[in-house]
Structure 1
Amino acid sequence: MNTLRAKLTALLVAAILLVVLLATGLTFLLISPPRFEAAEDATASQFALIVDLIASRPEAAAVASGDFIGVKAAAAGGPVAQGPTRGMNAALRRKGRSEQVIVSDPPGARSPVISARLGDGRWLLMPMSMAPPPDNRGWALAGWMLIFALGTTAVMVVAVRRLTEPLALLERTVAAIGPDGELAPLPEQGPTEVRAAARAVNLLSSRLKTAMESRIRLVAAAGHDLRTPMTRMRLRAEFLDDHERDTWIADLDELDRIADSAIRLVREEVEDSSRSPIRLDHLVRDVTDEIGEIGMKAALTSHSPVTVLCRPLSLKRAIRNLVINAATHGREATVRVATEGGRAVVVIEDRGPGIPQELLARVFEPFFRVEAARGAPIPGAGLGLAIAHEIVSRNGGSLTLRNRAEGGLEQWVTFPIAADRPAAPI
């Protein structure tokens, strides 16, 4: 009921039903009620005429023209209709008659029957010209309302579905966008509105793809072109004295790392290699061993065998960036691999100062650094977390950071488990 289509359908159905109910009520108010008194007066006049004719010829025999008409030995019988009985007696009194009649609905009669006792003890029976109300009038009204409501709802569902199909198409399109941000072309077919929506989405997708490719080419070209002047500057620095040369070389190394990180980030965005099942615990173990061999404190404290579907080289680069980040800024990295809730989990913890809570939402932005929170300035381009986040997302996983209650930072990497698939060697 929270969808636009359901709300719009309910609104239109309720509006139509309300209008019909108001129109029906107004119709009942405007239409004059039946004039029962006029009909009763006419019937009373006929009844009085017949009674007077019979009284003028008391020797007349019983009229046998029907079961419920003529002079009979007994009343018609059946349940008494109280309303018509009171109405007929009132009409007779208005005409100055003293007779008392009974209006009843005898079994087998097609209309109410008037029974009046004559002076000689016989009964005068005559049909009353008023059709009885239908027995199922309540069910008929309920059925009419039910059919009208169902018909209105069906028509509105079809109409609203057609009207909101472009919005539904946009919703399905957005849901189909993968981690790479690309969208398969939509078929431009169907009603006019759907074709127009599909055409607009395809045009938007094409323009976004062109813009992304232009940005990627620009960053790659800039990173590549920076290397030529940096090489000339490095050669010129060799002719400086030792102190100035070391400063120049350190700055050039920093520029080289920034350019190299930017190119790697761009390559991650355009990489489209296929994914294969990999033992995540083996990959993490290899990364911690490599980092430990270069003198950084990193240890795999616990691990469970688990297989994920990923691009092994890029995922290994991402895990390496995260572990180095913890070992560098947090003094020591402890890593564990586990399975939780049907997903593979890699948790990387450190003992550093953590990151201010208000800055956690920005840590995956390119070139964003938090030196004030993480301690002394450390050389780097500020792209390590951005690259790791891009790699993890493109491999179908998620990366989140949170501060530990006892101090330090926690990096959580989660992936869907690739069940019943043999892992490829790393």
Structure 2
Amino acid sequence: MPERGWRAWRGWRLWRLWPQSLLGRLSLVMVAGLLVTQLAASLIWSAQLRTKAEADTRAASQYLGQGAAGAIRFFRSLPPSYRSLLIQQFREMGGTRFFVGLNKAYVPVPGIGGQALAHTALSTLEATLTADLRPAGPIRLGFAWPDQLAVSPDGVKVGELPESWVRHILLLKPDPAPVLVIQTELEPGNWLYLATLMPNPYFLNSHDPLSTDRLVPQALSLAAVLLLSILVVRSITRPLAALSDAAEAFGKDENAPALPESGSREFVNTARAFGAMRERIARYIADRERLFISISHDLRTPITRLKLRAELLDDDALRQEFEEDLDELDMMVKGALQCVKDSDIHENPAEVNLDALIRRLVRSAELAGHGVAFGGTPLTVRAKPLALKRAIGNLLDNALFYGERAEVSVRGVDGWIEIAVRDHGPGVPEDAFASLLQPYVRLSHGRERNDGGMGLGLGIAAGIIDGHGGELVLANHPQGGLNAVIRLPA
């Protein structure tokens, strides 16, 4: 994968991991901050523990080395025949700090690997013994776990010895402790075997920041801080969620309860500002409704007279078309001042037969002398009939005004129904698409062809389609002209 593509893919994956909610983002930031702080504190603490543990280990090893040097000098001073008797007396008395044994050869000790403190202890012990014992002779040092430690060349393990012999050098509960073994050759063929515990038997764990006794308090404190942080973040974001729900309910013309004026000062101010805004919008909508009622009342008389005159027509088909147009006009005048959602107030959604609706528009255009190509469709869509008719009619009018002839097609694509209206005009410049749906925006070609237009048709159509959960897509057709596509949920 190229470097640029890899970076883009990695950035996309990181963006997907980034929470989309404010609660998730604040929680993630606080959790990450606490974890980083805990990690930094643990690293500093670990460095301090390591320094202290190394100093304590050197001091304990030096003290233990001095004691071991004294024991070695004592056994060197004894005649070889007395040493075994003295060791037997030590064992019968209950043992000493050191388990003492005599062997004919060096006993291999399986060492403990990967422990820096063990290496520090052994190096300090070796330096102390070498300095105290002159001549030192061969000295072998090592740490071993009790279950792996042999005390004689024939393989006898320390755990197989009588308990009274090793009570001071074995620590198996609650956790096995490493055993220090010192072997030195007193004379050729006579090796002194000393085994003991360090003053701090568990010195290997003294600098471990991940030990259980340290991790449990840290984990509990971290969990408590995280819980409190999440509760605080949730208390901050809950009013925002309530504000979002109230705004959505108000946008759907639902009677949502007023926001409680409680919480932080900023939210109280926001709730008051939102309540005042909602009241102003409600008054504006009420004034607009009264205006619609006034317009409807003023136009009801002339519409009624037109209906009466339509009844006097002898041509039944013509009379029916007049009555349908007057019924449509009666509905449309109530929303005549709206440019975006003309029929949302007065009309309910219903199953609309697109073939019948479009054929009526095509027939009206043909009666006006325009050419419209439409092959028919069996598809239906759930929509507000008059609103959808006005949206398609606006697109068709634009196509006929600015392109002389139009083509209408309907198809179903991946859960959507697409109604395409294409004209055969000059098309639209690419830099003009961004402002094409704004009200009162007209291109030079449109002003030349239609002086009476106001540039509201596309904006009204886009608003109606958006109210149906669809979208209006405008693009130049590859073969020329503008192609306006209405996409509605199937």
2:110 is matched with 79
Q: Is the 8 A contact 2:465 2:472 kept in 1?
A: yes
CA distance in 1, matches of 2:363, 2:290: 36
Deviation at 1:264? 1.6
Q: Is the 8 A contact 1:318 1:392 kept in 2?
A: yes
Say whether 1:275 aligns with 2:304.
no
2:336 is matched with 264
2:411 is matched with 338
1:328 is matched with 401
Pick one of 338, 341, 358 that aligns with 1:284.
358
Residue 353 of structure 1: SS of its match in structure 2?
coil
CA distance in 2, matches of 1:113, 1:68: 12
Identity of paired residues, percent? 24
Code of the residue aligned with 2:183 in structure 1: it is S
Q: Is the 8 A contact 2:373 2:408 kept in 1?
A: yes
2:62 is matched with 41
Structure 2: which 5+ runs fail to align? 1-17, 113-117, 148-158, 160-169, 172-178, 301-328
CA distance in 2, matches of 1:78, 1:127: 14
CA distance in 1, matches of 2:449, 2:77: 132
- The C-alpha deviation readout for 1:92-135, integer Å capped at 9, x for no partner, is 23234434543342534433233344459363524143425259
Say whether 1:411 aligns with 2:448.
no
CA distance in 2, matches of 1:167, 1:126: 70
Residue 375 of structure 1: SS of its match in structure 2?
helix
Scaled by the length of structure 2, what TM-score is found?
A: 0.62
Say whether 1:125 aligns with 2:163.
no
Deviation at 1:275? 0.6
Code of the residue aligned with 2:366 in structure 1: it is G
Q: Is the 8 A contact 1:332 1:350 kept in 2?
A: yes
Q: Is the 8 A contact 1:71 1:124 kept in 2?
A: yes
Pick one of 252, 256, 270 that aligns with 1:185.
256
Matches within 5 A, 1:231-242: none
Code of the residue aligned with 2:70 in structure 1: it is L
Deviation at 1:345? 1.6
Deviation at 1:149? 11
Q: Is the 8 A contact 2:181 2:193 kept in 1?
A: no
Say whether 1:21 aligns with 2:39.
yes
Say whether 1:98 aligns with 2:135.
yes
| CA separation of 1:306 and 1:77: change in aligned 2, threshold 3 A | same
CA distance in 2, matches of 1:409, 1:121: 107
CA distance in 1, matches of 2:400, 2:100: 118
| CA separation of 1:173 and 1:53: change in aligned 2, threshold 3 A | same
Residue 125 of structure 1: SS of its match in structure 2?
strand
Deviation at 1:412? 1.7
Matches within 5 A, 1:5-404: 5-30=23-48, 32=52, 33-54=54-75, 58=79, 59=82, 61=85, 62=87, 63-64=90-91, 65-66=94-95, 69-74=98-103, 78-80=109-111, 83=119, 84-99=121-136, 100-104=138-142, 105=144, 106-107=146-147, 108=159, 109-110=170-171, 111-119=179-187, 121=190, 123-130=192-199, 131-132=201-202, 133-134=204-205, 140=211, 144=215, 151=223, 159-169=232-242, 176=248, 182=253, 185=256, 188=259, 192=263, 196=268, 201=274, 203-214=276-287, 217=290, 264-266=336-338, 268=342, 271-293=345-367, 295-370=368-443, 372-373=445-446, 375-404=448-477
Deviation at 1:288? 1.0
| CA separation of 1:315 and 1:22: change in aligned 2, threshold 3 A | closer
| CA separation of 1:57 and 1:188: change in aligned 2, threshold 3 A | same
Q: Is the 8 A contact 1:92 1:98 kept in 2?
A: no
Deviation at 1:156? 5.3
Deviation at 1:211? 3.0
Code of the residue aligned with 1:78 in structure 2: it is V
Q: Is the 8 A contact 1:299 1:335 kept in 2?
A: yes
Scaled by the length of structure 1, what TM-score is found?
A: 0.70
Residue 404 of structure 2: SS of its match in structure 1?
coil
CA distance in 1, matches of 2:456, 2:123: 98
Deviation at 1:209? 3.2
Residue 425 of structure 2: SS of its match in structure 1?
coil
CA distance in 1, matches of 2:486, 2:389: 12
CA distance in 2, matches of 1:381, 1:52: 115
Equivalent residues, number: 383
Q: Is the 8 A contact 2:352 2:385 kept in 1?
A: yes
Deviation at 1:51? 3.9
Structure 1: which 5+ runs fail to align? 228-256, 418-426
Q: Is the 8 A contact 1:277 1:310 kept in 2?
A: yes
CA distance in 2, matches of 1:339, 1:383: 28
Deviation at 1:308? 0.9
Q: Is the 8 A contact 2:45 2:209 kept in 1?
A: no
Code of the residue aligned with 1:115 in structure 2: it is Q
Q: Is the 8 A contact 2:351 2:383 kept in 1?
A: yes
1:234 is matched with none
CA distance in 2, matches of 1:76, 1:23: 44
CA distance in 2, matches of 1:349, 1:162: 54
CA distance in 1, matches of 2:296, 2:350: 31
Q: CA RMSD in A?
A: 4.5
